[in-house]
Structure 1
Amino acid sequence: MVNSGTALPPIVVKVGTSILRGDHQRDTETVIAELARVLSRCWRQGRPVVLVSSGAVGLGSRRLGDTRRPRELSQQQVAAAVGQGLLMASYDKAFGVYGQLVAQVLLTRGDFVSRHRYRNATDTLRGLLVRRVLPVVNENDALATDELRFGDNDTLAARVAVAVAAERLILLTDVDRLYSADPRRDMQASPIHEVRNRAELLSLTQAAEPGGQWGTGGMTTKLAAARIATAGGITVDLADGRTIAVLEGLLQGGNGGTRFQPDALPIPIRKRWLAHGVLPQGRLHLDQGAVKAIEQHGASLLSAGITVVEGSFSSHEAVCLHGPDGEEIARGISRHSSEVVNRIRGLSRNQVTPLLGQPNAACVVHRDSLVLTRSPNATV
């Protein structure tokens, strides 16, 4: 929990480009002014807030005279470099009316992949909250390469919510809630007001529309964000951001849109980075005995249970663990390189120790560096 002069944990609010660009009744400046009014009031009431905001590419494109969002990464980066300053200037001016300080925090996936950089990013966010400064977070689109991009701010918002140990994540979008199908195309689509657990969330087969001309989100990324946040014990609200009254109601304890209930047994704080931050560099396929030992008994992964090694990785890099059916069951940090794991896979402890000349060398992924990804009640 963040010590920001209040016993209340933070709320993370994500607003996308489709909301920020407004409509014929509310332009971008009006939308930002309304957000500033509502979120500043939260701070005055003792509730810290983090704002994850899209919009830099869209604003930059308009300032550059483009009529469409650029498709090439290099041109998106140019637009973001122009638009990010415009976006922050608007937020600074709007929040300044209420005496609320804001700070720009630009992140890439690389800031979550590295344990050291993850801690730095987390410390910065929490430090701002302690000083009663509202962080305005965005992806660093001007510099991020393809492999280190989130590609959407829904996922970024979920990871930020986990990093600051938020109580709630509010995803503002241009639909009123989650539906069983796209309501714009299917007249039989029924509204989903609540997703009660991980099983319901994983079973949803919502047909997600790709992002529109100015957006890159879509329902798929919002469901992915909900999985990340709820696994960390965070309540997620998906709601209509086109009317500020909806956000006001949610911040006052109301329930609008679709609510995703958090897992009853969330992933422990010390393992949340491992579950959602790392980029696995390889895959280890396990026999059924190893899967049972890990999932049911909280065991470490030993060499004897490994059947196949995929990919090239060094020691202390992340790997995915897969069962005989190919499904991912866990992620962890390998104590050995892929070359060494290939040498010892399938071998017993008594065979590995003399081969490598190290005690406990048969332990490939220790349980302290392993987190379940298949089980909703993962606490190993």
Structure 2
Amino acid sequence: MLVVLKIGSSVLEKDGKPDEKIFDGISSVIGDCLKEGKAKFVVVSSGAMLFGVMETNLKKAENLIRKQALCAIGQPKLMNMWEKSLSKYGLKPAQILLIHDDFASKERSQNVKNTIEEIIKMGFIPIVNENDPVSTEEIKLGDNDFLSVYLSALINAEKLIIASDIDGVIDESGKVIEEINFEDKEIWKKIKTIKSKKRVSSGGITSKLSATKLASEFGIESFIINGKKPENIKMAVEGKRVGTRIIPGKKYPKKILWIGNVLKCKGKLEVDEGAFNAIISGKSLLPSGVIKVSGNFSRGDMIELEFNRKTFAKGISNYSSAEINLIKGKKTSEIERILGYKREDEIIHRDNMMILLD
């Protein structure tokens, strides 16, 4: 079984210093599971900025450039801790730093998948983190909760374990919710959300819930557990009752979920009522239904569709914004006459589109 284990910054520190016992405990569990043939691991480890803060004795990062610098300082320290702890159990780490484009590009995402598979085959433990020092807002993944979901889907992991400093998702009475099924529309009313008070944090329980909801749509079983107790990781691997288990929901096609949740929007098309009704009934978008083009995008980019000032769908465009500006409102039979060529009949094919309406 292939497991993605996401470890939050708060798990890895104690009293403002790296918690060596936690690193050792998690490494021990990984070693035990490997020896017993229960799981192979890909670790998504936060902590670069936190370790940078520790190294520089700064209380906080004042701006994006400072945050990136702290991550650059902290990442080697983080990897050094993993190397030191894993080596005690005969294991070695391999570092992988990713940005959004590594998932948005088909070629690059396949390369990431192939590399991770080869690292595992060679007997090393992939340690993944976002490449924060080079991540701008345009290429940033958001936080490691979502990185772990994207990665789980990409490498076809069977289980995602999110290790934090909480015992699980709690309800309004303060009790841990043992199982969550996001197909239950009332579940959000039962969950108590808590604002983070940590020095360094980009996620939080809301982020974890949103991430595991997406994981469930990919058909991946998830656990939110207390990583301060490393034995919980093994319990989650074994499917025992621990923390909060998120039940896999209805599995959607990976390509459609990738379009709707992973790819960055590069532009927008406003469509008429006829196109709107056709699309929500399962048909493709033709040039005749386009009223207005916004943004500067290329063929193959993800764009949003809007009707009555509301975004209702996302999809992969067969034509660039410049081309669509020339053929909007025209019949499919006129495309070649106007452009001098015709790639496709549709601007967006229904198989490359995600409808956002409930």
Same fold (TM over 0.5): yes
Aligned partner of 1:212 in structure 2 is 198
Confirm or deny: 8 A CA contact 1:286 1:321 kept in the other structure: yes
The code of the aligned residue for 1:304 comes to: S
Q: Does 1:363 align with 2:337?
A: no
Q: Does 1:15 align with 2:7?
A: yes
Q: Secondary structure at the match of 2:65?
A: helix
Aligned partner of 2:356 in structure 1 is 374
The code of the aligned residue for 2:33 comes to: C
Confirm or deny: 8 A CA contact 1:198 1:227 kept in the other structure: no
Confirm or deny: 8 A CA contact 1:105 1:137 kept in the other structure: yes
Mapped to 2, the partners of 1:159 and 1:273 lie a distance apart of: 9
Alpha-carbon offset, residue 166 of structure 1 = 0.7
Q: Secondary structure at the match of 2:96?
A: strand
Unaligned runs of 5+ in 2: none
Unaligned runs of 5+ in 1: 1-7, 182-187
Q: Does 1:136 align with 2:136?
A: no
Confirm or deny: 8 A CA contact 1:57 1:69 kept in the other structure: no
Q: Secondary structure at the match of 1:242?
A: coil
Aligned partner of 1:88 in structure 2 is 79
Aligned CA distance change for structure 1 residues 365 and 247 (closer, same or farther; 3 Å): same
Confirm or deny: 8 A CA contact 2:216 2:251 kept in the other structure: no
Q: Secondary structure at the match of 1:284?
A: strand
Alpha-carbon offset, residue 232 of structure 1 = 1.4
Alpha-carbon offset, residue 225 of structure 1 = 1.3
Alpha-carbon offset, residue 110 of structure 1 = 2.3
Q: Cα deviations across residues 100-154 of structure 1 (Å, max 9, x unaligned)?
A: 2221111111222222222222221122122232111011122222322224211
Q: Secondary structure at the match of 2:90?
A: coil
Alpha-carbon offset, residue 32 of structure 1 = 0.4
Aligned partner of 2:264 in structure 1 is 279
Mapped to 2, the partners of 1:293 and 1:37 lie a distance apart of: 56
Alpha-carbon offset, residue 296 of structure 1 = 3.9
Alpha-carbon offset, residue 363 of structure 1 = 1.0
Aligned partner of 2:230 in structure 1 is 244
Aligned partner of 2:321 in structure 1 is 338
Aligned partner of 1:185 in structure 2 is none
Mapped to 2, the partners of 1:294 and 1:353 lie a distance apart of: 23
Confirm or deny: 8 A CA contact 2:6 2:163 kept in the other structure: yes
Aligned-pair identity (%): 29
Mapped to 1, the partners of 2:298 and 2:85 lie a distance apart of: 48
After TM superposition, the score normalised by the length of structure 2 is 0.88
Aligned CA distance change for structure 1 residues 100 and 202 (closer, same or farther; 3 Å): same
Confirm or deny: 8 A CA contact 1:154 1:222 kept in the other structure: yes
Q: Does 1:321 align with 2:305?
A: yes
Q: Does 1:254 align with 2:246?
A: no
The code of the aligned residue for 1:69 comes to: K
Match of 2:209 among 199, 223, 226: 223
Mapped to 1, the partners of 2:295 and 2:203 lie a distance apart of: 30
Q: Cα deviations across residues 143-178 of structure 1 (Å, max 9, x unaligned)?
A: 222322224211111111111111111111222222
Q: Secondary structure at the match of 2:310?
A: coil
Match of 2:99 among 83, 103, 108: 108
Confirm or deny: 8 A CA contact 1:111 1:118 kept in the other structure: yes
How many residue pairs are counted as aligned between the two chains? Answer: 356
Confirm or deny: 8 A CA contact 1:211 1:218 kept in the other structure: no
Aligned partner of 1:165 in structure 2 is 156
Q: Secondary structure at the match of 2:341?
A: coil
Q: Secondary structure at the match of 1:281?
A: strand
Mapped to 2, the partners of 1:375 and 1:255 lie a distance apart of: 35
After TM superposition, the score normalised by the length of structure 1 is 0.84
Aligned CA distance change for structure 1 residues 146 and 349 (closer, same or farther; 3 Å): closer
Aligned partner of 2:29 in structure 1 is 38
Confirm or deny: 8 A CA contact 2:29 2:231 kept in the other structure: no
The code of the aligned residue for 1:300 comes to: S
CA RMSD of aligned residues (A): 2.7
Q: Secondary structure at the match of 2:265?
A: coil
Confirm or deny: 8 A CA contact 1:281 1:313 kept in the other structure: yes
Mapped to 1, the partners of 2:233 and 2:272 lie a distance apart of: 48
Aligned partner of 1:196 in structure 2 is 181
Aligned CA distance change for structure 1 residues 237 and 200 (closer, same or farther; 3 Å): farther
Alpha-carbon offset, residue 347 of structure 1 = 2.9
Mapped to 1, the partners of 2:127 and 2:67 lie a distance apart of: 20
Alpha-carbon offset, residue 36 of structure 1 = 0.1
Mapped to 2, the partners of 1:259 and 1:28 lie a distance apart of: 26
